Amino acid sequence: MADGMKMIGHTGESFTVFILAEILGIHGYSVKHDGVDVVSIGGEGLPIAQRIEVKSSKDLAEPKKFLFSYSCARGKKPKRCYRKGDCDIIAFVSLLDKSIIFKAVEDIPMVTKKIHQRDFKTEGITEKTWKEALRKSYKTTQLLLNDFFDNE
């Protein structure tokens, strides 16, 4: 990965930790462990820690269409989309707009995710998508725990 891309990634991770604390009241820590960039371990409305994969962009991939493009893949060949075993939530960061859209990993079944710039500019988008992603992540975690304990 080129140094410029690493810098964008590190900036997006730091921005995510900042937004978690400042806007959402969540304690987040940069971890860089096995594909997880940030872990949120406590704060308002967070009974279970969440593993967050951060995807950052500072430029539009398709300027005429106002689209950001994010790679949501693991591995080299073949690439595969992220799964619940990899992380709980994916944070899509627009450094251009200083905004984050959170999605539960289950909601991103593709290796490339395109997001329109207007979505990042929507009032309250960070708070709204955090709550939605968290709710979905908790539901999936509960189902996995139920399956685990039912099979003992």
Q: For the segment 58-78, what is each residue's pLDDT rounded down to a tens digit? A: 998 888 999 999 999 887 778
The tens digit of pLDDT for each residue in 17-30 reads: 999 999 889 999 99
Token pair in block for residue 18? 């900042």
pTM: 0.91
- Greatest alpha-carbon pair distance for the chain in Å reads 54
| Average pLDDT estimate for 25-42 | 87
CA gap 38, 149 in Å, rounded: 28
pLDDT in tens, 78-110: 888 999 989 999 999 999 999 999 999 999 999
Beta strands, E only, 8-151: 26-33, 36-43, 50-57, 67-71, 73-74, 80-81, 89-94, 99-104, 112-116
Backbone phi and psi for residue 137, each to the nearest 5 degrees, phi listed first: -60, -45
Return the closest-CA partner of residue 56 out of 38, 42, 44, 40.
38
The one-character DSSP state at 87 is -
